[in-house]
Structure 1
Amino acid sequence: MPHHLTLLPGDGIGPEVTEAAVQTIEAAGVDVVWDRHRVIGATAVERGRPALPPDVIDSIQERGVALKGPVTTPVGQGFTSVNVQLRQRLDLYANVRPATSLEGVDTPFEDVDLIIFRENTEGLYSGIEYFDERLEIADSIARVTKRGAERIIRFCFEYAKANGRGHVTLAHKANILKKTSGLFLDIGREVAAEYPEIEFDDRIIDNLCMQLVVNPDDYDCIVSTNLFGDILSDLTAGLVGGLGVTPGANIRDDMAVFEAVHGSAPDIAGQNVANPTAMIRTAVMMLRHIDEDDAATAIERALFDMYREGDVLTQDVGGTATTSEFADALADRVGAEKDA
């Protein structure tokens, strides 16, 4: 039976890297019927539509799973981030961001294997902001709820349990933010007590950032609130080569949107030079989510082999290949392995 999934190519380099991922999925022999939505974000606004059109929401709700390319977000003005809207409108409370080393990518560390679990719908990204024009004061409210904290922390522990990962660290700032971070930490300790087989500790966020760039091997699964998790996700991506090679997912119990975590890079859009690795690794996460483990493993193995050999890589990681050349080479490897 085919999988009926939503495809959001995005804008900027989004369509290029998304097509590379789709090509790789097809090479792995996975039967997917895509519901494609090309008008989203700035493209939709330019056509007089909402940045997140209702038909996109309807498609994801109907199909349950989406693969999404990057979408440009205006800085300081304009429409609210499509990513934030998707997470809040669909209540995709768990942002999952693995940071796993790729052999062949020049980084300060080898064999990094971390996963950041970020609460995705509240905290400082709740969108509760005020501006007092008379006093010229801007306020933002960091909202942490017991329900929101408990479900992301429990999601992290359940993931660790299901995937044989034995260590969870909770990142917070409870020494200063005694109510919001304090609540998150208290609930973390309560939930951790239900999983005695998993080692649990907590770290103050600034200390954790320092520890991660010194001894990343000391950490495994890290769970945190929205803003801290956002920062940690990019920091740990930097440990393994950057946002161009790291995947991401936004998940709730019955729905998921898998998205590359890098930006839309409009300065290189249409030049066929973008690295599709992050999008392809995101597709691997999606395939595992829909129980296509063999295909996911085949793609991952072929991708790792390409990086290990280093013959066909894009410019950002020291190669000379174009986006399409990289995608073609990977698809050929995946197809050959499937047919073997």
Structure 2
Amino acid sequence: MRSAFVLALALLAPSAFAATPDMASLKVPPGFHIAVWTDQVPNAREMALGAKNTVFVGSNDAGKVYAVSYAPDGSVEKVRTLATGLKLPVGVAFHGGDLYVSAVSRIYVLRDIENHLDAPPKPEVITDKLHTETAHGWKFIAFGPDGKLYVPVGAPCNICDRGDEGFAQMLRMNPDGSGVETVARGIRNSVGFDWRPTDKTLWFTDNGRDMLGDDVPNDELNHVTKAGEHFGYPYCHQGDTLDPEFGKGKDCKDYTPPVLKLGPHVAALGLRFYNGKQFPAAWHGALIVAEHGSWNRSAKSGYRVMTVRLNGNKVVSYEPLVEGFLKDEEVSGRPADVQPLPDGSLLVSDDDNGAIYRVTYKK
């Protein structure tokens, strides 16, 4: 088992993987197009929409948070730096005119941000009571339909049993940091989640453990159906595989299985339900998932953007939307998050290249 330091290093070393992609090598379905939206967002991770043609972007090791202003036609007008010196400010969430930012053990807020893009306010701490471990300590964050801020707390290891200490959970809290509750448990490392508009239920990706070989376990797409349910980690992986150490005396039937096995070590991160009108009807209501790509596999996997189509709670298909970041074991980009724009186009962040791409559709 690798140390937490080595695991964190593997995630924090983009230059070891990618060269700038040849956009012509990227593959999208017929009628779709992909282009660089901006290449001025180093280590770009989670994205969040503002209310006034702004996309906010967290970063994984630059310590910075960015704002990308765009025109009504979707073209980028200006990129600004809103904050610096924060600790792994991966997560960003826009709520009530304010920008919330995750920074490992802290959640910050920048008040009335879109009216102060050129002179950003000082980040205010709304909580500093989260764990300080950096291994799986960066946090994708988002506000749910209930108006609460959802914050995952990853396991501080590859494999360990520390759920009783508040790890491997999904939390939610009030916008002021009060009223912290546990939503779900047994989650190794979720770096992406969203709520289905039709029923307001929560869906999330979870990264499976490493060091069990090339093909086990799969990353997971999960669906929360009741508060506090347990998704298996560290006892059961991918819904059907007991851990060789922590699974002794356990039964996978006691835990909630994934809705879909996403593939071994693909590092599924950000996901969003697509509810725009620009893409064809087959994409409406589908989940779009960014797969950052494997490091713990002899033949690389992931490095793509996928479409998950659903019929109720059942998966109908799981197909690529963007491919081509991986060719002959050479990597040219690592998708980290996806974010639809109001016009129905889709943004894809790439932390290796410090870029955001825009996927559009035209018949």
Scaled by the length of structure 2, the TM-score of the pair is 0.30
| Higher RCO (Cα < 8 Å, 6 or more apart) | 1
Higher strand share: 2
Scaled by the length of structure 1, the TM-score of the pair is 0.32
Higher helix share: 1
Q: Which has the larger radius of gyration?
A: 1
